[in-house]
């Protein structure tokens, strides 16, 4: 048996782990030094299905019609789950949505659902610096925001098609109504959470590795805690579906956790000073079940703090940035979309290599063309007395000029061919990704704003827990 284990150990090579299953590191982390590991729930431990997004969409339409006077015709809106990606910015006043890179350059934009013309995009977003924190902008930085971005875009289209302006809202008013309706649907113990709790198998994806991962953390002596903005009843329903009786010795999901904090009010939780309040009418268990509280009170409950805590969440602002600014907790970001995006990247690797090679060829040809043009201009100057030259002529000079002109023409033709092939190859590279917005973490040759935030604020990032 020992020889078999030695053979198995020798078979393992880190480079054989597929990219979409890896943990990526921005800041070195030594896990043996971590004493407590915390988790957000929604889109971290609990990953929702497309049925969940469609349910939120339908309930939001109901709320808009009932509470905000939106026309009945919006019920015909068909939700496209692939319309938006995280990292977009909604320009409420103009009815636009755009994507920016880390340098705040707007490379792609739509008005409603339609592409924004180049000239209009430059007029709006190239004259002055883009400040995403302005009140007229809204950042699409959570997976819960996907439906509202598409709903706003569709409603802008509807407003633009309304010749008599029967729809009285302005673009900004329409967005605020949609935002308020989305919040109303998601908050508290409303219809959305009631439906999910009643049928969790329809709205939640089961991860076969989740229970074993939590158990392995505990086996290495780490205390686990759950920190969620959801209420206790909903948290209990979701986590019971994910973890109850999955592993021997863990009949209840609470058996994995030392502390559970519900109604945490993140991101205010990280900078506030409230105390953890026990949840009433819950059977006594070893797990401490609380609501509210603050980071400092949670550290006291865990008996550990600072860099010995690793917190794992999906929200770049509510989970990662605020916890990082308010503490020395280590952070890991879950990006569920990343697994699929990396899988697609593996599929276009050959075209990406070809595009890189063509790009280098284009650079070489541009340098060569510049050299040949300068050489030809110098020769022409020598042959033309009017430009201060010596008026040198002769068969040799004419032959050299003809050769120089042929060289320039040949290089230009080769450069045009390379540029056409490079453009075609780049289109193939981008084909598997979102047709409107491209890759999640990149915008052309730079990191997208979302990608830059992941790099700046997340110590680690990966596709799932």
User: Among 40, 57, 60, 63, which Cα is nearest to 230's?
Assistant: 40
Q: How many CB atoms sit inside 10 A of residue 254's CB?
A: 22
User: Among 80, 76, 157, which Cα is nearest to 111's?
Assistant: 157
Task: Please spell the DSSP secondary structure of 5-21, one letter per residue.
Answer: HHHHHHH--GGGS-GGG
Give yes or no: 40 in active site. Answer: yes
- Given the structure tokens 């915390």, which residue do they identify? 38
User: Among 148, 163, 153, which Cα is nearest to 115's?
Assistant: 153
CA dihedral 130, 135, 141, 145 (to 10 degrees): -130
Is residue 383 a contact partner of residue 397, using CB atoms and an 8 Å limit? yes
C-alpha span between 258 and 214 (Å, rounded): 12
Contacts of 232 by beta carbon, 8 Å cutoff, 6+ apart: 262, 263, 279, 282, 289, 291
Give yes or no: 236 in active site. Answer: no
Measure the CA angle with vertex 230, ends 44 and 450; round to 5°.
40
H-helix segments, 303-448: 322-326, 336-347, 349-383, 395-430
3-state secondary structure of 244: coil
For the chain, helix (H) and strand (E) counts, in that order, are 16, 18
Is residue 414 a contact partner of residue 404, using CB atoms and an 8 Å limit? no
Structure tokens at 457: 């604020």
User: Among 221, 185, 205, which Cα is nearest to 32's?
Assistant: 221
The catalytic residue among 42, 223, 263, 319 is 42
The catalytic residue among 40, 101, 223, 236 is 40
Is residue 259 a contact partner of residue 286, using CB atoms and an 8 Å limit? no
User: To the nearest 5 percent, what fractions of the chain are helix, strand and coil?
Assistant: 50, 15, 30
Peptide bond preceding 267 in cis form (omega within 30 of 0): yes
User: Among 180, 85, 99, which Cα is nearest to 137's?
Assistant: 99
**DSSP bridge pairs for 446:** 443
C-alpha span between 102 and 92 (Å, rounded): 21
Annotated active-site positions, please? 40, 42
């Amino acid at each position: 048996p020992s020889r078999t284990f030695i053979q198995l150990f020798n078979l393992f090579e880190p480079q054989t782990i597929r990219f979409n299953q890896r943990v990526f590191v921005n800041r070195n982390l030594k896990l043996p030094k971590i004493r407590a590991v915390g988790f957000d729930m929604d889109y971290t431990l609990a990953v929702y299905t497309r049925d969940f997004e469609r349910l939120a969409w339908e309930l939001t339409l109901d709320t808009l019609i009932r509470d905000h006077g939106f026309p009945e015709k919006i019920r015909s809106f068909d939700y496209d789950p692939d319309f938006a990606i995280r990292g977009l910015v909604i320009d409420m006043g103009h009815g636009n949505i755009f994507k920016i890179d880390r340098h705040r350059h707007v490379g792609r934009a739509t008005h409603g659902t339609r592409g924004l013309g180049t000239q209009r995009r430059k007029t709006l977003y190239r004259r002055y610096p883009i400040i995403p924190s302005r009140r007229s902008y809204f950042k699409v930085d959570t997976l819960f925001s996907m439906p509202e971005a598409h709903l706003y875009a569709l409603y802008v289209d509807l407003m633009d098609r309304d010749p008599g302006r029967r729809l009285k809202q302005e673009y900004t008013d329409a967005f605020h109504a949609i935002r308020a309706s989305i919040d109303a649907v998601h908050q508290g113990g409303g219809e959305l959470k009631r439906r999910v709790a009643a049928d969790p198998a329809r709205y939640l994806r089961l991860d076969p590795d989740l229970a074993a991962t939590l158990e392995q953390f505990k086996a290495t002596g780490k205390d686990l805690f759950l920190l969620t903005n959801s209420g206790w009843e909903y948290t209990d329903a979701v986590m019971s579906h994910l973890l109850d009786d999955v592993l021997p010795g863990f009949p209840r999901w609470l058996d994995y956790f030392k502390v559970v904090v519900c109604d945490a009010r993140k991101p205010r939780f990280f900078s506030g000073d409230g105390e953890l309040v026990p949840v009433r009418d819950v059977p006594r268990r070893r797990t401490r079940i609380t609501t509210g509280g603050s980071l400092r009170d949670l550290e006291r409950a865990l008996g550990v703090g600072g860099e010995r805590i690793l917190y794992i969440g999906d929200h770049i602002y509510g989970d990662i940035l605020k916890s990082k600014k308010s503490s020395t907790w280590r952070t890991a970001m879950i990006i569920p979309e990343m697994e699929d995006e990396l899988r697609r990247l593996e599929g276009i690797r050959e075209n990406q290599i070809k595009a890189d090679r063509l790009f280098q060829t284009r650079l070489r040809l541009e340098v060569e063309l510049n050299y040949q043009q300068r050489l030809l201009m110098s020769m022409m100057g020598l042959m033309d007395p009017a430009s201060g030259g010596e008026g040198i002529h002769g068969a040799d000079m004419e032959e050299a000029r003809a050769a120089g002109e042929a060289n320039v023409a040949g290089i230009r033709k080769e450069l045009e061919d390379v540029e056409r092939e490079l453009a075609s190859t780049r289109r193939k590279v981008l084909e598997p990704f979102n047709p409107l917005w491209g890759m999640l973490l990149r915008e052309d040759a730079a990191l997208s704003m979302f990608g830059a935030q992941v790099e700046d604020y997340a110590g680690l990032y990966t596709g799932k827990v």
